Amino acid sequence: MPKRFTLALAGNPNCGKTTIFNELTGSRQHVGNYPGVTVEKKEGFVSYKGYEIKVVDLPGTYSLTAYSPDEIVARDVIVEEKPDVVVNIVDASNLERNLYLTLQIKELEVPLVMAMNMADVAEASGLEIDYELLSRLLGVKIVRTVGTRGEGITELLEAAIEVVEGRSEREEKSFRFREEIEKEIEYLTRYLPGDEKEWIYPRRWTAIKLLESDKEVIRKIKAKLENSQEILSRLEESRQRIENMLNDDPEMAIIEGRYAFIRGAYREAVREKEIDRFSFTEAADKVLLNRVLGIPIFLGIMWLLFQFTFTLGAPFMEWIEEGFAWLGEYIGNNMNEGMLNSLLVDGIIAGVGGVIVFLPNILLLFLGISFLEGTGYMARAAFVMDKVMHRVGLHGKSFVPMLTGFGCNIPAIMATRTLENPKDRLVTILITPLMSCGARLPVYTLLIAAFFPKEVAGNVLFSLYLIGIILALLMAKVFRTFLFKGESEPFVMELPIYRLPTLKSVLIHMWERAWLYLRKAGTIILAISVIMWALLTFPMTDPYGNEWEDPAEQLVNSYAGRMGQAIEPVLEPIGFDWRTGIALIAGFAAKEVVVSTLGTIYSIGDVEALEEGEETAVKGFAQRAREQSGFTPLTAYVLMLFTLLYVPCMATLAVIKRETGTWKWPLFTVFYTVVLAWTVCFIAYQGGKIIGL
């Protein structure tokens, strides 16, 4: 049996923590070069020298003080789950700032190793770090790493095993505050229980957190300790004594104490050489962060991304489409007619095949997004949008989850945990579903391919993403004005240096999204396609028990047909018929199902063509849509708008419930998105008709 231990990775956002996690575990994780990518702990495993090591990737955080959910998650895992060793990943090129978290982890009294990551970037910028001296000053084993090249990974595992086996020769040192603060820390520890069963947190750390007025620690003391009132009374005495002696707030005095030590250690162990060299990051930011050019450049980059996605993906999409058309025709011609034939051809192949057709577009979109994240540009996009976001009552940091929503709304909503203000967080959660996730892309691609010339396809796709952003900002303004009044908070966000992302990280991200898409196609979408086929096929006889003579009549009188006709009066003013209504109802489960349901409807509709003597009943998806939907380009565009805006998928609603702790906000999201979708589509459709589109 292999020996086992747990290793937790902790560090600031953008320190390369998730890259090292990937190198250690080989796990497929999203590596992005902006704050907020890792909002939950992720786990992986690595086998090394007879050990089975569980690696936990903690949320990226600048501090362990309970200001945001990700900070609480990070420290609770360290304190409550007690990993055998914590590896603090530090960005060597921003060493002074990163060491603040290092000191806070040391205060937790856990076995610690430091990975001095991005050492190559630090050295290229003229920094000479005396690792041995810094290691002695901090009392921590330091390993030089370059995560993007896999350098130092083996040494990191060796250092972790040394700590676990108790072979580390590094003397553990506890950072000491000034005498006045240390006296009060010692005073408060007398009233804290030493029994781990009663109180699992280190007593010294608890006393420091109390002096810092940490709300989460105070809440837990009130809930768990019988003498909580005495402790809090002593706390007020201690805080008052510190204020009288230092003429400063205790929290600020503690923070300044940490930074004073960091500045001293940095001066001792780091030499900064003067290097006269061209800084690409500074030069690029002069253009990309320009007040006038910043937003147009961002929109231009997004436009190029969608042109790239649609233009390059079109031929691959056509090949897959032809393959499924051939498969459906082959099965249809070589199987006996009957229920199973219809299920396979009209239900599974038409439904699931209609979704898998769009895999090339999904791959290309995520390839582009992953590349932009990896370079560091996405952080700039949030910075550029800060001024616009302030006008709607948010700040640029809220734009990070919104950008993540281009991939999937679920991790985007989870990424709001990096927002410290509860109102900012809730508003961002409510507007993020208006961002065009990858699940909507098949609907866009189908309708654009069917009803718009190739020359304007990329522009049409870009307009939908842009409309989503604009409406999200407008709704943020409405929510901030009427539901969540209050001033928006100032925005401070780290802008990482530009890097060329590794091919491995980009491909991992792209494949992760593609695999989720394929897995959904093979499970949820397959199941719903079969259900929708059944609803569109049954009942197979009229009220008198006779089989329907006309397939179109049978379709109208099917269970799904009746549902569609029931809501048709509501949809008629925005240009939709009962068949589109069926697809939109199915889309409540997952947006891709809008496409698979239309595929099933049009495939069943193709039976009419077969009976009229056409050679091929199973045609390309776009061709069937053109022939049977009765859509004009205006109707197709309005359907894309409705798909963009109406209810997010069930999984997203479940995540909103989990993140807000109540069903109130998911239900509110359902209500407001449906109303918004209908209103916008009514204006677009009726307005388009008036001007002759």
pLDDT tier at 354, thresholds 50, 70, 90:
low
258: burial class by Cβ within 10 Å (0-12, 13-18, 19+)? middle
DSSP per position, 179-216: HHHHHHHHHHHTTS---TTT--S-HHHHHHHHHTT-HH
**Residue 348: per-residue pLDDT:** 74
* 607-618 average pLDDT score: 42
User: Is the pLDDT score of 692 beyond 90?
Assistant: no
pLDDT (average), residues 62-74: 76
Helix (H, G, I), strand (E, B) or coil at 109: coil
pLDDT at 666: 94
> In this predicted structure, what is the pLDDT of residue 90?
95
Report the pLDDT value the prediction gives residue 173, as an integer from 0 to 100: 62
Compute how many other C-beta atoms are within 10 angstroms of the C-beta atom of residue 186.
12
Least confident of 100-114, 240-254, 382-396, 677-691: 382-396
pLDDT of the residue at 607: 47
pLDDT tens for 172-214 read: 666 788 889 999 999 999 988 877 778 888 899 999 999 999 8
Q: Tell me which of 408 and 644 has the higher pLDDT.
A: 644
CA distance 240 to 227: 20
Say yes or no to pLDDT of 400 above 60: yes
**What mean pLDDT is reported for the chain?**
83
- Comparing 269 with 319, the larger pLDDT belongs to 269
User: Using an 8 Å Cβ cutoff, are 645 and 680 in contact?
Assistant: yes
d(CA 672, CA 30): 31
Q: Give rounded-to-5 percent helix, strand, coil for the chain.
A: 65, 5, 30
pLDDT value at residue 321: 74
User: Residue 126's pLDDT band (boundaries 50, 70, 90)?
Assistant: confident
pLDDT for residue 374: 79
Could you tell me which residue, 588 or 669, shows the higher pLDDT?
A: 669
668: amino acid identity, one letter: F
**Confidence band for 31, pLDDT divided at 50, 70 and 90:** very low
Residue bearing the bigger pLDDT, 100 or 355: 100
**285-309 pLDDT tens trace:** 888 888 888 889 988 988 888 788 8
Q: Are 686 and 638 in contact (CB under 8 A)?
A: no
Angle subtended by helix axes 131-138 and 250-269, to nearest 10: 150
Mean pLDDT for the stretch of residues 112-131: 91
Over residues 512-528, the mean pLDDT reads 73
What pLDDT band is residue 254 in, cutting at 50, 70 and 90? Answer: very high
| pLDDT value for 618 | 39
Mean pLDDT for the stretch of residues 261-279? 79
Q: Tell me which of 127 and 675 has the higher pLDDT.
A: 675
CA 608/CA 461 separation, integer angstroms: 33
415-461 pLDDT tens trace = 787 777 888 899 999 999 999 988 898 889 888 988 998 889 889 99
> Cβ-count burial of 81 within 10 angstroms (0-12 exposed, 13-18 middle, 19+ buried)?
exposed
Give the pLDDT band of residue 475 (cuts 50, 70, 90): very high
Q: Does position 233 have pLDDT exceeding 80, yes or no?
A: yes
Mean pLDDT across the stretch 115-137? 90
DSSP annotation of 440:
T
What are the pLDDT digits (tens) for 659-673? Answer: 888 999 999 999 999
Q: Which residues are annotated as a binding site for GTP?
A: 11-18, 36-40, 57-60, 117-120, 146-148
147, pLDDT greater than 80? yes
User: What is the percent of the chain where pLDDT is above 90?
Assistant: 30
**Pairwise pLDDT comparison (536 vs 109), residue with the higher score:** 109
Is pLDDT larger for residue 156 or for residue 273?
156
Express as a percent the part of the chain with pLDDT over 70.
89
Q: When comparing pLDDT for 484 and 620, which is higher?
A: 484
Binding site membership: which residues?
Answer: 11-18, 22, 25-26, 36-40, 57-60, 117-120, 146-148
Please give the pLDDT value at position 208. 93
More confident of the two residues 133 and 380: 133
Residue 317 reports pLDDT greater than 80? no
pLDDT tier at 7 (50, 70, 90 boundaries)? very high
Strands 127-129 and 270-272: antiparallel
Where do runs of H (alpha helix) occur along 483-611? 503-522, 524-537, 551-556, 559-571, 578-586, 592-611
Q: Are 29 and 57 in contact (CB under 8 A)?
A: yes
Binding site for Mg(2+), by residue number, is: 22, 25-26
- Is pTM beyond 0.75? Reply is no
Cα distance between residue 677 and residue 642, in whole Å: 5
How far is the C-alpha of 121 from the C-alpha of 117, rounded, in Å? 9
* pLDDT value of residue 38: 47
pLDDT over 60 at 29, yes or no: no
Residues 6+ apart with CB under 8 A from 96: 262, 263, 266
pLDDT of res. 493: 63
pLDDT of residue 339: 73
Structural domains of the chain, with CATH: 3-164 (3.40.50.300), 179-246 (1.10.287.1770), 295-690 (no CATH)
Residue with the two structure tokens 């901090």: 138
